[in-house]
């Protein structure tokens, strides 16, 4: 089967094309030739691989930060201060004391101890994950700023530069991937909703 490599490679990032040229991705000689031609069209500097690699590293860090933020927003661990933890424990102890002494409901003291231990473990785990997320975020942002400053100092990130264009292409591919995942989840939800509606109609009939 013949492939239109020239058209296919237009949507590839410089890193993907470079890996093809260097043989890290096994393709035909014709494909390698078109990959190199595409890089040359983009004014890819084969003699400044250090800058190119830093550009790729920057793109990967930014993508990693976007993914982390999506995960945090979807499953955010908010730091729980000591006073909030003590308030939760105190509220349960008061409810436990009231039920045990002013109502006919009686609970074993082991339940109170189990609750306190469980809440303590959950709060500690939550705060550990929160601090871990914050630390990772700060380290990523520090690396991103360091690489950006270095590339900007050499004017390699100015608008229209090969590295800047490639970073934008990388971002577009990342966004396309997110859209694909979003469409998949929406499709699954729609199918499940239809199945539940049909099930409800059949049961009603």
Q: Let me know: does 52 contact 170? Beta carbons within 8 Å.
A: no
Each residue of 182-204: pLDDT tens digit? 677 677 778 878 887 787 777 66
Angstrom distance (rounded) from CA 159 to CA 3: 32
Please report which residue ranges of the chain form alpha helices under DSSP H.
Answer: 5-8, 14-21, 29-41, 49-74, 82-102, 109-153, 162-204
Q: Output the pTM of the full model.
A: 0.49
Q: Let me know: does 170 contact 59? Beta carbons within 8 Å.
A: yes
Each residue of 104-142: pLDDT tens digit? 777 777 878 888 888 899 889 888 888 887 888 888 888
Angstrom distance (rounded) from CA 62 to CA 124: 30
Structural domain spans, the chain: 1-44
Which residues does 126 contact at the CB level (< 8 Å), separation at least 6? 77, 78, 79, 80
């Amino acid at each position: 089967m013949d492939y239109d490599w020239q058209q296919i490679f237009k949507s590839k990032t410089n890193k993907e094309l470079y890996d093809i040229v260097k043989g890290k991705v096994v393709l035909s000689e014709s494909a390698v030739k078109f990959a190199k031609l595409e890089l040359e069209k983009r004014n890819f500097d084969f003699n400044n691989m250090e800058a190119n690699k830093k550009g790729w590293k920057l793109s990967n860090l930014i993508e990693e930060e976007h993914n982390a933020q999506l995960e945090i927003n979807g499953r955010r661990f908010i730091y729980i201060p000591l006073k909030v933890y003590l308030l939760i424990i105190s509220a349960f102890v008061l409810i436990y004391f009231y039920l045990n002494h002013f109502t006919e409901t009686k609970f074993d003291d082991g339940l109170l101890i189990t609750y306190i231990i469980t809440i303590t473990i959950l709060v500690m785990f939550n705060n550990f994950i929160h601090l871990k997320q914050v630390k990772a975020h700060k380290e990523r942002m520090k690396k991103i700023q360091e690489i950006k400053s270095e590339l900007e100092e050499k004017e390699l990130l100015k608008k229209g530069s090969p590295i800047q264009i490639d970073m934008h292409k990388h971002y577009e591919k990342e966004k396309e991937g997110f859209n694909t995942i979003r469409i998949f989840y929406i499709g699954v939800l729609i199918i499940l909703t239809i199945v539940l509606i049909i099930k409800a109609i059949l049961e009603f009939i």
